[in-house]
Amino acid sequence: MSEEEDLSAWGDALAEQADSEAGEEASAEDPWGEALSEQADAEAAVEPDDVSSAAFDQLSSDRGEGKNKVDLDVLLDIPVTLQLEIGRAKVSIRNLLSYTQGSVVEMDRLAGEPLDLLVNGTLIAHGEVVVINDKFGVRLTDVVSPQDRIKKLK
């Protein structure tokens, strides 16, 4: 081989090596590009005859008729917790630990002010304490409207 042929062979080899390294760097730098090209190749291999459309049943307009009707009796048997709130007080732990039998805790409400009736923690009504056959009860004086209850939830 002549010197010119050696230089030409070396040049071709170096160019080939540079091209292969550039291809490896491109695939190493952009794995998403390689994955997308693989996906495109796979989608091109799928024949259109293999695809089928989904089948759905016809929708009907049975609104509350027949077996779809809601049975409200199921809801009527759900137990709820009623609470009567006389008032509230904020005290320090020091004062709380100093309470003994006969201690008086001052509430934030005045005497004669209506009590709050809460159902599962939600204010439902106001009332006053009554005694019936040696048991306490409550006479409702004001029921909170559903609109006001919804406003308080927000």
pLDDT band of 64, cuts 50, 70, 90? low
| Dihedral sign, Cα of residue 103, residue 137, residue 109, residue 153 | positive
Q: What is the pLDDT of residue 71?
A: 73
| Strand bridging mode 122-132 / 82-85 | unpaired
Res. 45: pLDDT tops 70:
no
Beta sheet of 135-143, edge-to-edge order: 82-85, 115-119, 122-132, 135-143
Mean pLDDT of the chain: 79
10 or 24: which carries more pLDDT confidence? 10
pTM score of the predicted model: 0.47
pLDDT class for 61, splitting at 50, 70, 90?
A: low
pLDDT attached to residue 127 = 93
8-13: average pLDDT: 76
**DSSP per residue, 17-83:** HHHHHHHHHHHHH-HHHHHHHHHHHHHHHS-GGG------PPP---SS-GGGS--THHHHT----EE
